[in-house]
Amino acid sequence: MHQNKESNNICKIKELNREIDKYSPSRFSIAPMLDWTDRHCRYFHRLLTKQTLLYTEMVTTGAIIHGKGDYLAYSKEENPIALQLGGSDPQALAYCAQIAQERGYDEINLNVGCPSDRVQNGRFGACLMGDAALVADCVKAMQDVVSVPVTVKTRIGIDEQDSYEFLCDFIDTVVQRSGCNIFTIHARKAWLSGLSPKENREIPPLDYPRVYQLKKDFPQLTIAINGGIKLLEEAKQHLQHVDGVMVGREAYQNPSILAHVDHELFDSSIPVVNPVEVVRTLYPYIEQELSKGAYLGHITRHILGIFQGIPGARQWRRHLSENAHKPGADIPVVEQALAMVTERM
């Protein structure tokens, strides 16, 4: 009798832990994408999903320390939000991480995955995979000055250093020397020369099983997977093997999938949001930003794909693309485009 009661308690604890894990910030996130996931984009995405962790574009330490603009600006409605930093100087990264925490960011992420020449010239991004000790020093320097999680986004390898052993050695070194316990793994290796960033997202083959194996070999770590994921059904399959899923361009080009994330991946009692209502909910934000000098097109470029696959979507995109950039463009432009969808519903 006592054993049965104890067994039932253990089952309840395990079930509770599964529920807690389900709401982990790493369970579903939208990738940091340069020139795409700016603050207008993130505000829009937050209207579609409350549970998803949003990432900034990569921001370099040099931009934060020496730039004239405010590269950390965001709206409080965007939380939970992670700042992705680019850099390789532990002291500069620590300084920027501290500022980010003071500004209210929920996570600091180190970019160890971007393969562009510009990033490599600054000695950060994917080339840092070749110096695991430096990555560990960078992470530890940030962890020493902030209390929010410091995480790493990386690839499964670089150039000819693409064996599973290389990946394990990299992860193990960073973990042992810094204590980092959250990694997002883009399931492709990166070629540091010969391929453009776009080609590096498409040509190196995806190797999801390698990321699954990494989770098996490092069960104590939180491992999220990234790369080529387009459907929430695919995300569900990945979540059978890893702790989290990060979606990139599909979430941007077809943002309507985000309307289903909270319901499908977090809590089935959460209703699926209506995209028409989301657009109209965005109006006060648009008016606020226009009053500050923003251009309508800078905001509406992020919402072009919201009605993908719905009658009137092409007319919606065309009307916004042709009119949102015009001087004085305001809410009526969006409402006119919206009518081209709603009148066909």
- Long-range interactions of 127-134: CB distance < 8 A, separation 24+: 127/158, 127/192, 128/88, 129/154, 129/155, 129/157, 129/158, 129/161, 129/170, 129/190, 130/158, 130/161, 132/169, 132/170, 132/173, 132/174, 133/173, 133/177, 134/88
Give residue 118's pLDDT: 61
- pLDDT above 90: residue 312: yes
- pLDDT above 90: residue 178: yes
- pLDDT above 60: residue 297: yes
- pLDDT above 50: residue 324: yes
Chosen domain end from 266, 298, 317: 266
Give residue 19's pLDDT: 43
Q: Which of 11, 41, 96, 114 is catalytic?
A: 114
In a domain, 241, yes or no: yes
pLDDT per residue as tens digits for the range 203-235: 889 999 999 999 999 999 999 999 999 999 999
Question: Do 182 and 282 belong together in one domain?
Answer: no
CATH number, position 302: 1.20.120.1460
| pLDDT band (50, 70, 90) for residue 193 | confident
Give residue 309's pLDDT: 92
Question: Do 193 and 230 belong together in one domain?
Answer: yes
Give residue 121's pLDDT: 61
- pLDDT above 50: residue 94: yes
Give residue 283's pLDDT: 98
| pLDDT band (50, 70, 90) for residue 11 | very low
In a domain, 70, yes or no: yes
In a domain, 9, yes or no: no
Question: Do 219 and 262 belong together in one domain?
Answer: yes
| pLDDT band (50, 70, 90) for residue 345 | confident
Give yes or no for a contact between 29 and 244, defined as CB atoms under 8 angstroms apart.
yes
In a domain, 10, yes or no: no
Chosen domain end from 266, 293, 321: 266
Can you tell me the distance from the alpha carbon of 145 to that of 99, in angstroms, rounded to the nearest whole number?
A: 10
Decide if 114 is catalytic: yes
In a domain, 138, yes or no: yes
Q: Give the residue-averaged pLDDT of 299-306.
A: 98
State yes or no: cis peptide before 80, omega within 30 of 0. Answer: yes
Give residue 194's pLDDT: 79
Question: Do 251 and 184 belong together in one domain?
Answer: yes
| pLDDT band (50, 70, 90) for residue 321 | very high
Chosen domain end from 206, 234, 266: 266
Residues contributing to the annotated binding site for FMN:
32-34, 84, 153, 186, 226-228, 248-249
Task: Give every CB contact of residue 181 below 8 A, 6+ residues apart in sequence.
Answer: 175, 220, 221, 222
Residues contributing to the annotated binding site:
32-34, 84, 153, 186, 226-228, 248-249
pLDDT per residue as tens digits for the range 253-278: 999 999 999 999 999 999 999 999 99
| pLDDT band (50, 70, 90) for residue 303 | very high
Question: Do 221 and 334 belong together in one domain?
Answer: no
Q: Which residue has the tokens 């695991």?
A: 132
pLDDT higher at 9 or 122: 122
Please provide residue 149's backbone torsions phi and psi, each rounded to the nearest 5 degrees. -60, 140
Strand, coil or helix: 283: helix
Question: Do 204 and 104 belong together in one domain?
Answer: yes
Give yes or no for a contact between 244 and 222, defined as CB atoms under 8 angstroms apart.
yes
Question: Do 86 and 48 belong together in one domain?
Answer: yes
Question: Do 135 and 88 belong together in one domain?
Answer: yes
Question: Do 259 and 279 belong together in one domain?
Answer: no
| pLDDT band (50, 70, 90) for residue 115 | confident
Question: Do 168 and 283 belong together in one domain?
Answer: no
Structural domain count of the chain: 2
Alpha carbon 323 to its chain's center: 30
In a domain, 295, yes or no: yes
Question: Do 308 and 181 belong together in one domain?
Answer: no
pLDDT per residue as tens digits for the range 19-43: 434 457 689 999 999 999 999 999 9
Question: Do 257 and 288 belong together in one domain?
Answer: no
CATH number, position 63: 3.20.20.70
pLDDT per residue as tens digits for the range 149-171: 999 999 999 999 999 999 999 99
Task: Give every CB contact of residue 250 below 8 A, 6+ residues apart in sequence.
Answer: 229, 230, 257
Domain extent, residue 335, equals 275-339
Can you tell me the distance from the alpha carbon of 265 to that of 249, in angstroms, rounded to the nearest whole number?
A: 19
Can you tell me the distance from the alpha carbon of 59 to that of 73, in angstroms, rounded to the nearest whole number?
A: 11
